[in-house]
Amino acid sequence: MTANNNNTDVVVLGAGIVGVSAALSARQRGLSVVLVDRREPGSETSYGNAGILSSGSIFPLNQPSLFGSLPKYLSNRHNALRWDVGWALRNPGWIARFLANSAQSQVKPRAVALQGLIKTSLKLHRDWIVQAGAGNRIRETGWLKAWRTDNISAAKADQAKLTEYGIKSELLDRQAISALEPNILPVYSVGLLHTETASVDSPGNVTKAYARMAVGSGVDLRQAEIKSIAADGDGWRVMLSDGEIKARHVVVALGPWSADLLRPLGYRVPLATERGYHREFTPNAARKLLRPIHDAENAFLMTPMEQGIRVTSGVELTDRDAPSSYEQLDAVVPLARSVAEFGEPVGEVWRGARPTLPDSLPMIGPAPRHKGLWLAFGNQHIGFTTGPATGEAIAAMIAGAPPGFDTAAFAPSRYI
Ligand SMILES: Cc1cc2nc3c(=O)[nH]c(=O)nc-3n(C[C@H](O)[C@H](O)[C@H](O)COP(=O)(O)OP(=O)(O)OC[C@H]3O[C@@H](n4cnc5c(N)ncnc54)[C@H](O)[C@@H]3O)c2cc1C
């Protein structure tokens, strides 16, 4: 079937990693697909992330240990979390639900659900990245979490939690860290290497490569502002800045912008934005970083990217479009310099927003009160990892086929 802008099977809204994956998967199932974004594919959150394809991120931030960390976060000076008081006062319900999901009883069901999603997604990434001609961008060198203090008990506790779910990791001492990353300075006493985790050197370009593969398979990519959507007979009408598209199915994959489009349909989605920043720096070619490093005590990440060393900040809880505040990033750049040698900044500071629901699980499935409306967003800190399986599951549901993993925990009806 060929795509026809006036009457297509599926229109996917948003060409981040989730939307591109949904479009590609739907096309692979023989459906005609239009993919719409106001920017080039992979230009927003799917561009600026840390590029980690994480096998072990099955424990969201809201877990029991969060309660112990709250006192230090209340001061609003910790690198891991800054929060805007005005935002907190306007969103007490989201905060209360987020905290309620930190209870011990919520750990296992969410870890099991996320592990199914992550496993399926990593397999898709490893297949697609080769098929898309971008196999040179993936590194199978793991991800190192490292502690400057001799906090062996924290590393062991992390490892025990991963082992419980069959996720492999290796405990490292100072010498083993130096052997693994010979070009960093010896600031870390203890490390935990997530051996089954991969990373890429440009998440934006990987998303673009998947988009090119989707277009090559017949997806019609359109660049336009999406204004609104409306039910139309047994299908949908999507109003764009330059016209409209009719489709039997609409997939909302607008990342942190997803809730806006759904509000006029009566859906109040409790989607918060955990903002984050990055800045890249020219690498020292003679002192290469070989994998992403997570500085455990100082709450920042450093990833070797195509254009340089990308330093990524922790969470800033505030409105999606509030003015930028660079304090959190400024605080960690000198700390990153104490680990790796790198030069001048490359380009400007980037800001993005991790789209997060109160249980830190994405919405993957049908909108409860509208036939043919599919929701695929809320992938929080691990959306680059989980985008492919999120999109593939939606495509399977549209085609009436079983998704490759258990999607029950991700049903949109749990919140709307
Ligand atoms: C600092 C930071 C570090 C991160 N690190 C990692 C990591 O290492 N590993 C990992 O797995 N995840 C990571 N993440 C999370 C990950 O980046 C996101 O979860 C993921 O990119 C979300 O993808 P998406 O497709 O849902 O959204 P997006 O990539 O934001 O895509 C949404 C698209 O919708 C489009 N859009 C929105 N509104 C409109 C409109 N009205 N009209 C037209 N187009 C519109 C936008 O242009 C955009 O392209 C990180 C996030 C941040 C912020």
For 103: left if phi > 0, alpha if psi spans -120 to 50, otherwise beta; the answer is: beta
Amino acid (one-letter) located at 288: K
| CA 104 / ligand 1 centre spacing (Å) | 29
Q: Is residue 255 lining ligand 1, measured as CB closer than 6 Å?
A: yes
Nearest Cα to 378, choosing from 258, 203, 267, 264?
258
| CA 39 / ligand 1 centre spacing (Å) | 12
Q: Which atom of ligand 1 is nearest to the CA of 353?
A: 53
pLDDT digits (tens, 9 = 90+) for 191-232: 999 999 999 999 999 999 999 999 999 999 999 999 999 999
The pLDDT of residue 4 is 43
Q: Which atom of ligand 1 is nearest to the CA of 292?
A: 8
Q: Is residue 354 lining ligand 1, measured as CB closer than 6 Å?
A: yes
Query: Cβ(275)–Cβ(82) under 8 Å?
Result: no
The pLDDT of residue 416 is 98
- Ligand 1, pocket-test mutation among 13, 34, 47, 49, most atoms within 8 A of CB: 49
Q: Which atom of ligand 1 is nearest to the CA of 312?
A: 1
Q: Is residue 385 lining ligand 1, measured as CB closer than 6 Å?
A: yes
| CA 210 / ligand 1 centre spacing (Å) | 15
Which amino acid residue places its CA nearest to atom 22 of ligand 1? 383
Nearest Cα to 269, choosing from 112, 93, 61, 393?
93
Helix (H, G, I), strand (E, B) or coil at 285: coil
Verdict on whether the full-model pTM lies above 0.95: yes
What rounded mean pLDDT belongs to the chain? Answer: 97
C-alpha span between 404 and 393 (Å, rounded): 7
pLDDT digits (tens, 9 = 90+) for 147-196: 999 999 999 999 999 999 999 999 999 999 999 999 999 999 999 999 99
Sign of CA dihedral 352, 355, 360, 361: negative
Amino acid (one-letter) located at 95: I
- Ligand 1, pocket-test mutation among 35, 222, 257, most atoms within 8 A of CB: 257
pLDDT band at 241 (very low <50, low <70, confident <90, very high): very high
What is the rounded average pLDDT of the residues 312-339?
98
- Strand positions, DSSP E, 190-242: 190-194, 198-200, 220-223, 226-232, 235-240
Q: Is residue 350 lining ligand 1, measured as CB closer than 6 Å?
A: no
Q: Is residue 283 lining ligand 1, measured as CB closer than 6 Å?
A: no
pLDDT band at 405 (very low <50, low <70, confident <90, very high): very high
| CA 256 / ligand 1 centre spacing (Å) | 7
| CA 314 / ligand 1 centre spacing (Å) | 16
Residue with tokens 């008081």: 85
C-alpha span between 231 and 319 (Å, rounded): 29
pLDDT digits (tens, 9 = 90+) for 91-135: 999 999 999 999 999 999 999 999 999 999 999 999 999 999 999
Q: CA end-to-end span of the chain, whole Å?
A: 34
- Ligand 1, pocket-test mutation among 291, 294, 384, most atoms within 8 A of CB: 384
Q: Is residue 44 lining ligand 1, measured as CB closer than 6 Å?
A: yes
Length, in residues, of the chain: 416
The pLDDT of residue 388 is 99
Query: Cβ(17)–Cβ(388) under 8 Å?
Result: yes
Give the chain's largest Cα–Cα span.
Answer: 66
